[in-house]
């Protein structure tokens, strides 16, 4: 009898991990889910992730926590997602840099976005805005370009870092305009905005959520949004295209990702949950308050967006010889 019980115990131990694994997949989620944000607390991705986490919890029936893992222009936290188990318990909320631009900038990358990550859904997009210091005598993009062509050495522009979307967007505008202006990178939006307001730099392309409060206060002037169409959140501002600059679109979107190999049923449930979350009136209002237009995309739409971003920024990076990590 004892020997028979021992045999049953041994057999149970042999199959229990497989059985537990199958049960866990069938009942996903059965424990805490974490969303890794590859930027610091208070950043736009961090704020969006916390809004999303609050809405996902009741929809998924489990706690959803946000973990900040900043560093290496977003590569550090995004790599943590890429190397996580594809079980649906480690996700990420990232932006265009770590998912599309950084592989064009860094000579080596710890992950391959196309191979090592699963695009799940884009939560929403935020327009970037071309802004100038109040002392710049330009009331439109056309006025500004005329100034830059006439006296380029007199002006410079701020960005939130070398190779950032704000840097590339301004360089793309200058390429289209046939002008060259000195680039002054800063470690983030607060420092860039302080310099712009003070007049140390004369212009920048920065996320609407960061600049519009200062525009509304009259401290800086907004000239255009860098989107294909006018933003419903800032409808009075023309697009760059309307202002004579074709093909420069810099959408500061945020998207939910997971590691490669994430099971399709989990992806499908997450897409459904994200779409429901961004359609929720409370979350939608909070996103719009940050100038983020709620979206909610399919994985296929997300993958197409990433391909478009790589194709858009690669020529700008190559033409200007922009490199990181050297």
Using a cut of 0.75, tell me whether the model's pTM lies above it.
yes
**Domain presence at residue 154:** yes
Angle 208-216/189-198 helices, nearest 10 degrees? 30
Q: Is residue 101 part of a domain?
A: yes
Q: Does 257 lie in the same domain as 112? A: yes
CA distance 131 to 155: 13
- What CATH number does residue 36 fall under? 3.40.190.150
> How many other CB atoms sit within 10 Å of the CB of residue 269?
16
Q: Is residue 273 part of a domain?
A: yes
Chain center to CA of 117: 15
Structure tokens at 13: 């131990």
Same structural domain, 120 and 155: no
**Which of 179, 210, 225 is the last residue in one of the domains?**
225
Identify whether the C-beta of residue 81 lies closer than 8 Å to the C-beta of residue 139.
Answer: no
Pair (121, 136) in one structural domain? no
221 and 132 in one domain? yes
Q: Are residues 120 and 133 in the same domain?
A: no
Which of 212, 202, 160, 161 has the alpha carbon at shortest distance from 182?
202
Asked whether residue 262 is assigned to any structural domain, the reply reads: yes
Cα separation, 217 vs 206, in Å, equals: 16
Residue 167 included in any domain:
yes
253: its two tokens: 């979107």
Query: Any idea what the CATH number is for the domain that residue 172 is in?
Result: 3.40.190.10
- 102 shares a domain with 35: yes
pLDDT tens for each residue of the chain, 326 residues long: 444 444 444 444 444 444 444 434 458 999 999 999 999 998 899 999 999 999 999 999 999 999 999 999 999 999 999 999 999 999 999 999 999 999 999 999 999 999 999 999 999 999 999 999 999 999 999 999 999 999 888 999 999 999 999 999 999 999 988 888 999 999 889 999 999 999 999 999 999 999 999 999 999 999 999 998 999 999 999 999 999 998 899 999 999 999 999 999 999 999 999 999 999 999 999 999 999 999 999 999 999 999 999 999 999 999 999 998 75
Whole-angstrom Cα distance, residue 156 to residue 68? 33
| Dihedral (CA of 33, 35, 41, 46) sign | negative
Tell me, rounded to whole angstroms, the distance of Cα 215 from its chain centroid. 23
Looking at residue 105, what is its pLDDT? 96
Which pLDDT score is estimated for 318? 96
Domain count of the fold of the chain: 2
Tell me, yes or no, whether 85 and 147 share the same domain. Answer: no
Please tell me whether residue 20 adopts helix, strand or coil conformation.
helix
**Whole domain around residue 151: which residue ranges?**
128-225
């Amino acid at each position: 009898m004892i020997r028979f019980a021992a045999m049953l115990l041994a057999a149970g131990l042999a199959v229990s991990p497989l059985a537990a694994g199958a049960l866990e997949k069938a009942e996903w989620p059965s424990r805490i889910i974490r969303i890794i944000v590859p930027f610091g607390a208070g950043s736009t991705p961090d704020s969006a992730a916390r809004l999303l986490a609050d809405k996902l919890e009741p929809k998924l029936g489990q706690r959803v926590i946000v973990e900040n893992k900043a560093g290496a222009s977003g590569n550090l936290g995004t790599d943590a997602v890429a190397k996580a188990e594809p079980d649906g318990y480690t996700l990420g909320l990232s932006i265009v840099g770590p998912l599309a631009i950084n592989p064009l900038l860094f000579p080596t990358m710890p992950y391959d976005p196309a191979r090592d990550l699963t695009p799940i859904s884009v939560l929403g997009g935020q327009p970037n805005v071309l802004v100038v210091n109040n002392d710049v005598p330009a009331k439109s993009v056309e006025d500004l370009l005329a100034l830059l062509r006439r006296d380029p050495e007199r002006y410079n522009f701020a960005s939130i870092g070398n190779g950032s979307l704000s840097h590339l967007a301004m360089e793309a505008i200058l390429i289209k305009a046939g002008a060259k202006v000195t680039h002054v990178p800063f470690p983030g939006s607060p420092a860039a905005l302080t310099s712009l307001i003070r007049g140390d730099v004369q212009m920048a392309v920065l996320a609407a959520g960061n600049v519009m409060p200062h525009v509304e206060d009259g401290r800086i002037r907004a000239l255009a949004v860098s989107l294909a169409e006018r933003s419903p959140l800032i409808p009075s501002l023309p697009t760059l295209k309307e202002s004579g600059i074709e093909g420069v679109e810099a959408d500061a979107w945020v998207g939910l990702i997971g590691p490669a190999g994430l099971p399709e049923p989990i992806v499908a449930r997450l897409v459904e949950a994200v779409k429901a979350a961004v359609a929720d009136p409370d979350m939608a209002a909070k996103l719009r308050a940050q100038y983020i237009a709620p979206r909610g995309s399919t994985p296929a739409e997300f993958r197409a967006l990433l391909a478009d971003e790589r194709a858009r920024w690669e020529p700008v990076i190559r033409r200007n010889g922009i490199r990181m990590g050297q």
